[in-house]
Amino acid sequence: MKKFLSIVSSLAIFASCAEKNSNYSLEDYQSVKKTDIHIHITADRPTFVEKAKADNFHLLDVALEINKGWEDVYFKYNHGKNQQEQNPETVDLVTAFAVSDWDDPAWESRVISWLDSCFNEGAVGVKVWKNIGMVSRDSAGNLITIDDEKFDPIIDHIQQSGKTLLGHLGEPKNCWLPLEEMTTNNDRTYFEKHPEYHMYKHPEMPSHEEIIASRDKMLEKHPDLRFVGAHMGSLEYSVDSLAARFEKFPNMGIGLAARMGQVFYQTVENREKVRDFFIKYQDRIMYGTDLADNGTITKEELVNRMEDTWKRDWEYFATDNMMESDLINSPFQGIQLPKEVIDKIYYKNANTWFALKP
């Protein structure tokens, strides 16, 4: 009997250890290799990269066009390049291109020449921003959309060069709702500060569904393109909608940058559905934050912001702790993903989707 009890006890201990070893803890945060696929550094100081090194993060610094055309692209790319040259083991670059000169007959050749120069310097991808579909217009006043045939040779070139297209196309669905009906506090704050992008105030503009349909048409035309939908592919409101896109577009992945509030919100509603989504599509999801350093806050404030964001998200994915966040108004429980899933979302998938060699 004693021998039987000893065997049972040993098996229980073994099972407990095995269960423990299948998950990470809060204490594992610093020792695990991680990548943030979506950050922006436009300051000369080394603070961001130093903090990333201390926390075992690799970084993808992302350029984009906002409202100054090629000036935006050059400014943001060159700041990232400076950081990358000083820290090649920590920083990789995602470049961009402008559509401000869309009607110039030389636009296509200018874009391809610029992209090739960036690829020759090691850029691993190309970013397109929400100005395509929501802001930028041609000389006739028509909105420029990503499914326009003029983009086809550019997208083909990106694909043939073995690079990844990172697409921030559209906005969260909250963008088309009044502030008081939005599901997350961060969206409410952002669109209150940026009414020019708050589509609820601009009913003459395309709907969320129209913008997503334009993006999907582009993907249908380029089935072999490696595409990562920034900000959860602007389908952050529903893991079911994302799952449907994953099933339709096998070369589509997503980054989580600036959409953890929507993940938390859905976790409140149905934690197991969200957890199942991350496990089922563990090869298609990449961690990112949209954290930025433009030099306007102190080094201490920047480091605290990075630490708070990175460790909050690690707690959510690695543990089943009850949590609270200022992004939403309800408590929620971490989804405690298995180690192998976290390793993919935080590190391995970035290496695959962006052909990284950190």
Is residue 2 a part of any domain in this protein? Answer: no
What CATH number corresponds to the domain at position 82? 3.20.20.140
> Rounded distance, CA 176 to CA 226, Å?
29
Task: Give pLDDT tens digits along the chain (358 positions).
Answer: 545 445 444 444 444 445 557 999 999 999 999 999 999 999 999 999 999 999 999 999 999 999 899 999 999 999 999 999 999 999 999 999 999 999 999 999 999 999 999 999 999 999 999 999 999 999 999 999 999 999 999 999 999 999 999 999 999 999 999 999 999 999 999 999 999 999 999 999 999 999 999 999 999 999 999 999 999 999 999 999 999 999 999 999 999 999 999 999 999 999 999 999 999 999 999 999 999 999 999 999 999 999 999 999 999 999 999 999 999 999 999 999 999 999 999 999 999 999 987 6
Output the six-digit token pair for 71. Answer: 């000036």
Contacts of 136 (CB under 8 A, 6+ apart): 99, 100, 102, 143, 144
Is residue 15 a part of any domain in this protein? Answer: no
Is residue 175 a part of any domain in this protein? Answer: yes
Output the six-digit token pair for 58. Answer: 């690799």
Is residue 235 a part of any domain in this protein? Answer: yes
Q: Which residues pair with 164 in a beta bridge?
A: 125
Is residue 13 a part of any domain in this protein? Answer: no
* Of 342, 358, 179, 214, the residue nearest 275 (C-alpha): 342
Dihedral through CA 93, CA 94, CA 100, CA 102, nearest 10?
130
CB–CB of 49/59 below 8 Å?
yes
* Of 261, 283, 236, 291, the residue nearest 38 (C-alpha): 291
Is residue 78 a part of any domain in this protein? Answer: yes
Is residue 358 a part of any domain in this protein? Answer: no
How many domains does the chain divide into? 1
Is residue 12 a part of any domain in this protein? Answer: no
CB–CB of 178/202 below 8 Å?
no
Full domain range(s) for residue 269: 22-353
